[in-house]
Amino acid sequence: MARRRKREVEPMGLAFLDVVCCGFGAVLLLLVITKVHQPVAVEASQLAFAQRIEDAEQKRLEAAQRSIETEQRINELASELEQEDAEFERLRAQVEALSRAREQNEQRASVQQSIEQRLKIAQQELSREMQRLALRDSGKVIGGVPVDSEYIIFIIDTSGSMQHYNWNRVLEKVEQTLDAYPTVKGIQVMNDMGRYLFSGYAREWIPDTPSRRKVILSRMRRWRAFSNSSPAEGVAEAIRTFYAPDKRISLYVFGDEFSGGSIASVVRQIDRINLEDEEGRRRVRIHGIGFPIPVEEGQPTSERFAALMRELCQRNGGTFVAIAN
């Protein structure tokens, strides 16, 4: 009986063993399948991660490049702003300069108007003085200026302002004055400091001939003697050197400004030299010709010249004429 039970149990154990082996085989098969596909998945994952890193680095580089470009643009804008500031300052300076120039022009216009009014008054006084001289003098009169003298002396301001602004007109008026005296016994030309045009005729009379008159005008065109813009020295030199009781002499003083000291002291100095005779006539006549210069250059020295010459001409039997612009 015991032996039969043993045989009955044996088939059941083999079947269980088959089941266990099959299960173990299935597990091994799953492990094999998993191991076969696992490297492919890992490699794909690594490639994807590397690509993400590369993309991130590219983006970082692009961001850095944009940062550099932004910084450059900021610098460019700062430079442009500095240029705009400089341009603004330049324009502001121009506006201020134009404003100052306008104020100066207004001041000059006011000064010019004042001078014009004074000139009108002076011309009225001059016209009355010319009429008075014409009635008083029995000699020949041209344009209100007596031309009865036998000897004439030109005393000419040779300063830079005369050379620059009026020299051609000076030559013209000298020629016109000579034409008003068809024939004289002697001529002399010196500057306002007493320096002679012809050193060979210093302190002597230049003979009057048509050719000599042309030479005088020709030499004057390039005459550049130093001048202090004061006729006192030239007038005194002419009277002391050339006065003679038997000679009728006229002095023609050409100038545009007086930069000397006191007008009254010059008048007193000439009074002491150009004495009056018993009939109240001076040793020589003194005429004055005033030439215009720009207001900003000549005012007030040009006014002082006109005032000085009006006084000298009135006291010394002559006439002062102001040349218009």
Mean pLDDT, the chain, rounded, equals 83
As given in the structure block, the two tokens for residue 53 are 């890193």
The model's pLDDT over 153-199, given as tens digits with 9 standing for 90+, comes to: 999 999 999 999 999 999 999 999 999 999 999 999 999 999 999 99
- C-alpha to C-alpha distance for 124 and 121, rounded to whole angstroms: 5
Look at the alpha carbons of 270, 273, 277, 283 in this order and tell me if their dihedral is positive or negative: negative
> What pTM did the predictor assign?
0.58
pLDDT of 203 reads 96
112-121, 229-238, 301-310 — which one is most confidently predicted on average? 229-238
Q: Measured between alpha carbons, how far is residue 295 from residues 98, 200, 221 in Å?
A: 20, 38, 25
Q: Return the H-helix or E-strand segment holding 157.
A: none
Calculate the CA 264 to chain-centre distance. Answer: 37
Q: What average pLDDT score do residues 32-55 get?
A: 69
**DSSP assignments along 79-146, one per residue:** HHHHHHHHHHHHHHHHHHHHHHHHHHHHHHHHHHHHHHHHHHHHHHHHHHHHHHHHHH--S-EETTEE
Q: Return the H-helix or E-strand segment holding 320.
A: strand 320-322
pLDDT band at 39 (very low <50, low <70, confident <90, very high): low
Q: What average pLDDT score do residues 202-220 get?
A: 96
Q: Find out whether 145 and 287 touch, Cβ atoms under 8 Å.
A: yes
Q: Which residues of 250-286 are buried (b: 16+ CB within 10 A; e: fewer)?
A: bbbbbbbbbebeebeebbeebeebbeeeeeeebbbbb
8-22, 31-45, 255-269 — which one is most confidently predicted on average? 255-269
Whether 146 has a pLDDT exceeding 60, the answer reads yes
The model's pLDDT over 64-119, given as tens digits with 9 standing for 90+, comes to: 888 888 888 898 888 888 888 888 888 888 888 888 888 888 877 776 676 667 65
pLDDT band at 143 (very low <50, low <70, confident <90, very high): very low
pLDDT of 108 reads 74
225: number of Cβ within 10 Å: 15
Q: Find out whether 238 and 287 touch, Cβ atoms under 8 Å.
A: no
Give percent of the chain above pLDDT 90: 47
- C-alpha to C-alpha distance for 175 and 5, rounded to whole angstroms: 176
- C-alpha to C-alpha distance for 187 and 153, rounded to whole angstroms: 6
